[in-house]
Amino acid sequence: MKIVFSITKYRTPIILFLVFETIAVWLWQATGKLFFLLNFSYIGIWVALGLLLFTEGWKYAREFTQFGVGSYMLVFLGLICRENMQIEGLWYYLLCGVVGAGTLHYAIAKILGPLLFGRGWCGFACWTTMILDLLPYKQDKVPRKKWGFIRYIMFASSLAVVLLLFWLDMADTYTMFILFVVGNLFYYVVGIALAILLKDNRAFCKYICPITVFLKPMSYYSLLRIKCDEDKCIRCGKCLKICPMDVEVNNNSRSRKNATECILCQQCTKVCPTKALKC
């Protein structure tokens, strides 16, 4: 009985670890490259460990995973291995007809993966928000702006930049590495400035980030999501106040306000006095 209870309690980290490990072994066997086994096993271990620590009530479990995965992808894969893990890297590989690191990253983390774990990438792995979340504006104080259209401009601009590089015959791995460095600096500067201006750490995610064009529609159907037992909910509003993405979490419908913005940070589950919320 005790073993069954333990498996039930830790089923989410166990399932996600097995998913990443399956991907790791499959890519290793399909390509013969040990890198894929080590890469996805590393990410799976950090994600599972973070969720396990969260289950045990550790306050900074999410941030622990966020830095473990985010810094690995930014520093090791991006700066040391010189892989452009931004959206421009995806366009580059697609236009080259190559299944590169950027292509696999997007397919697993941002296109197909969200069907399982929604926008968990944004909450547990993004190297941009691992810095932005260090800022003091944990809960936005300014009403949400109608600036969501900017993400689509950024999305189109990223493709336009890569197409321009191909047209100028400048599209190569070195140029893409430079674009990765410049792009990240741009994101950090804009993200920090916007957070200070709007008193909201996650303003960049809400208005600027082009990746959400992929994430939002796929995460609508996510298997893992914050569910609300509306019979237990007392409408105290604590969950609404603490949610960094303005999600109407006290509504169980998939069509609730800002439903596809949820980053699975689970802050709402911590403050719910009746335990009506769970993932």
Give CA torsion, residues 254, 257, 263, 265, to 10 deg. -100
Name the CA radius of gyration of the chain, rounded. 19
d(CA 259, CA 253): 8
Residues in CB range of 208: below 8 A, 6 or more apart: 150, 151, 154, 187, 190, 191, 194
User: What pLDDT does residue 20 have?
Assistant: 93
Query: With 80 as the cut, is the pLDDT of residue 96 above it?
Result: yes
Tokens of 87: 């959206």
Question: What are the pLDDT digits (tens) for 7-21?
Answer: 677 788 888 899 999
Q: How far is CA 42 from each of CA 22, 23, 72, 73, 222, rounded to the nearest angstrom?
A: 12, 12, 9, 11, 23
Q: What is the pLDDT of residues 170-180, one digit of tens each?
A: 989 899 999 99
For 140, the token pair is 């936005």
Q: Given this model, what pLDDT does residue 6 score?
A: 58
Tokens of 64: 């622990």
- The answer, yes or no, to whether residue 98 has pLDDT greater than 50, is yes
pLDDT above 70 covers a percentage of the chain that reads: 97
Lowest mean pLDDT among 99-103, 109-113, 156-160, 204-208: 99-103
